[in-house]
Amino acid sequence: MTFYPSLLEQTSEARAYLLSAPMIQRCFAGDFTLDHYVGFLQQAYHHVKHTLPLLMSVGALLPESKEWLREAVAEYIEEELGHQEWVLNDIAACGYDKEQARRSEPAFATELMVAYAYDSVRRVNPLAFFGMVLVLEGTSIALAERAASTIAGKLQLPRKAFSYLNSHGALDQDHIKFFESLMNRITDPAEQAVIVHAARRFYHLYGDIFRSLEQPHGLHQLELLA
């Protein structure tokens, strides 16, 4: 078995923890409010804005023997430019203050996930970042476009309120194929173990972000939506 299917198999239990988050279940049951969606976007901003710095750290820390992976990281960097601004623009399209969102503090669960990402990349092994890639992009494929359709249908929000979800649902289809090809080139068992361990942790950490969305986001609504 190549590494990618093994990675999926070894992380299935942790993935189930994420997908069982009550807010994910509530989303697809239609049991949510505008505040829940805005809260999700606020937390998305607080981790998405770290994607580029993390990728840059990964690229800098990879050894020369992983030059092929450094080149892939450079491609990721180019494609991830500005995504945090998409999230803020979605918040504005929902009628909330995006600059307040920019200045806001992340939820504890979000702060923990970001801190773990930096720590694992810099202290343990830069390959740990690819555990995060599996979790975030794999979840986007499974949930993003379907969630956007469900939320739009219930809340009657404009299409411009879903640039982050809609783009990631489609974009990550290509990303995950690219990711699969990269992971299948990782043949060292110790390196594979680093990625598996990190993915399990990120599934739990990301799941806890969804579990935090019951808390008020604290953002001000600027105008009534038409």
Reported as a single tens digit per residue, the pLDDT across 131-166 is 999 999 888 777 877 888 899 889 999 999 999 988
pLDDT tens digits for range 121-133: 999 999 999 999 9
CA angle 46, 50, 56 (to 5 degrees): 175
Q: Is a pLDDT exceeding 50 seen at residue 225?
A: no
Name the CATH superfamily, with its identifier, for domain 3-214. Answer: Heme oxygenase-like (1.20.910.10)
- Give percent above pLDDT 70 in the chain: 96
pLDDT at 170: 57
pTM, whole model, 2 decimals? 0.93
pLDDT in tens, 17-75: 999 999 999 998 989 999 999 999 999 999 999 999 999 999 999 999 999 999 999 99
Q: Dihedral sign, CA of 47, 107, 131, 25?
A: negative
| Nearest Cα to Cα of residue 81 among 101, 54, 51, 58 | 51
Which of 5-14, 89-98, 137-146 comes out lowest in average pLDDT? 137-146
Q: What is the mean pLDDT of residues 1-25?
A: 95
pLDDT confidence of 173, banded at 50, 70, 90? low
Domain edges within the chain: 3-214
Q: What is the mean pLDDT of residues 71-81?
A: 93
Q: Which residues 6+ apart lie within 8 Å of 154 measured at CB?
A: 30, 32
